[in-house]
Amino acid sequence: MSHGTPFVRTRLRNMKRKRYILAALAALIVATSASAQSKSFSLGKWVELHNAILKELNRSYVDSLEVGRIEREGVDAMLEALDPYTVYVPEEEQEDFRMMLSNTYGGIGAVIYKSDVNGNVLINEPYAGSPAAKAGLVCGDEIEAIDGETTHGLTSSECSDKMRGKPGTQVHFRVKKLRDGSAWKAGETIDVTVTRERIALPSIEYVGMLNESDGYILMSKFTDGVGQGIRDGYHTLKKQGMKRLVLDLRSNGGGLMNEAVNIVSLFVPKGSVVVTSKGRAAGSEQVYKTMTDPVDLEIPIVVLVDSGSASASEIVSGALQDLDRATIIGTRTYGKGLVQSIRPLPYDGQLKVTTAKYYTPSGRCVQAIDYSHRNEDGSVGHIPDSLTHEFKTAHGRTVRDGGGITPDHVVKGHKYSRLTYSLVLNGIVDQYAMKYVCEHEPLPRVEDFHFAEYDDFVAFAKDKEFDYRSSARALFDEMKKTLAEDGLAEAMAPEIAALEKSLDMDKETFLRLQKDEIVPFIEEEIAVRYWFQQAGIKVRIRYDEQLKEALTKPAISW
């Protein structure tokens, strides 16, 4: 048989191919090894440089060196260069970190207020069923001393730290009472002992019927056990005649991924894919499926979202949308498609580090900001719509990635005036609510309460210091500064004066002009102080136009 036969030629080609493959594999191994060595060398280089710089500073720097401070700032700056979610948590911050994850802490269960560091601390808002409420503390009570130490000279944060502690321990207060009690008179100072408990701030803030057929669940965080809480809420509402479920995830910043899976599990078939996480490391992909039988595969579901709905909220809304199981209503969500894990560090520290991205059942990642590609100034931007991709839901509807969850029906919320934001953020509404409670006896039910003393609020607020300018006036003031910097203020003086006159509005006039949007905030704050947190939510629902419009939208059909 000659070398020219097809058999021999094929054999020669296979031998050459094997040599090429072996050569390519060898090159790949060398390249991989070189890459690993390069990364290892780079890491070692910077560790060595860091240590050398720190030693030289410690030896040569002109002033005493605060090593702990500059090292912490250096670590924080390094992690901030990655993304906002990768953070170092030292041992002394563990309790606050655990509280953030679990929504619990050891304490008396009350919001306090202290306007003057040299004054008493006030009970602003006790929680329903809390140790503070059980001990008889009410909104307006003044705490003069904590465990024998005067509150004068202490900040609000320092007072709060003294009230917190291990559940089961006691804290002693000297309290000036607001109202008459069985053993004291209003204005009398008494001693009150409160036994601290584990305070669990509710992640499910409200469960109730909006009308004869619509059940409503308001959820603020995805903490441990919240999936069971949604299950219990569903059964409660079903007994009350619920025909449609409204799950409110507006301003819900997320939390535990497994609880998002547990919630979706309630309404889709067992074994359904809810979310997939993918990291950089090989084999890091994890698929999360529903593991339990659903409670209801038929009930119509409305999920309310907005720009504050993030992370686990987007997992729930994205999965239910991809599986065509719910109608998503509101505005586009935040767009956080990153997964964080907790890693232990020396000296009992922890690193919360971004380890993966998550993908909804259709395959889309909702991450809106690309932290891996930064501008020259270090800033990052949103992924433009032109670079997003189309995906299909279970029944063929088109959805997109790269920018949060886009609702099936866009319904915008109320846009509040700058004045209203200023009143709330500066505590003017809070302060007035406390004043009102001190001067008025509560009605039997929150449903019967409607705030009618707006003239009194105006008189109270107009004497307070806060920025009451309209948005237009604030922009005008910035424009005046720019014109002055550009040397145009004098030349345009007549026009500037005329515009300033038309925009100028005194505080009282503006307060009266915005009455309709300010009154709901006042009613809510007063309701919370009389009847606790759920009463405030009832008032909020009373004025929630976005929720009311959402109820008129049809379910998505396919």
Catalytic positions, written as ranges: 311, 322, 336
Backbone angles phi, psi at 87, to 5 degrees: -140, 155
How many other C-beta atoms lie within 10 A of the C-beta of residue 19?
Answer: 10
Q: How far is 336 from 339, CA to CA, in rounded Å?
A: 9
The tokens for 359 are 């993908």
- Which is nearest to 203 in space by CA: 182, 220, 224? 220
Contact 109, 101 (CB under 8 A): no
- Which is nearest to 95 in space by CA: 105, 81, 82, 83? 105
Q: What angle is formed at CA 438 by the lines to CA 434 and CA 443, rounded to 5 degrees?
A: 100
SS3 state of residue 520: helix
Residue located via tokens 């599986």: 323
SS3 state of residue 171: strand
The tokens for 396 are 């063929």
The tokens for 515 are 């009455």
Q: How far is 207 from 229, CA to CA, in rounded Å?
A: 10
Separation of first and last alpha carbons in the chain: 68
- The single-letter code of the amino acid at 531 is W
- Which is nearest to 144 in space by CA: 179, 175, 113? 175
How many other C-beta atoms lie within 10 A of the C-beta of residue 385?
Answer: 10
How far is CA 118 from each of CA 125, 145, 192, 290, rounded to the nearest angstrom?
21, 12, 22, 56
Q: How far is 476 from 467, CA to CA, in rounded Å?
A: 14
The tokens for 188 are 């009398």
Q: How far is 356 from 354, CA to CA, in rounded Å?
A: 6
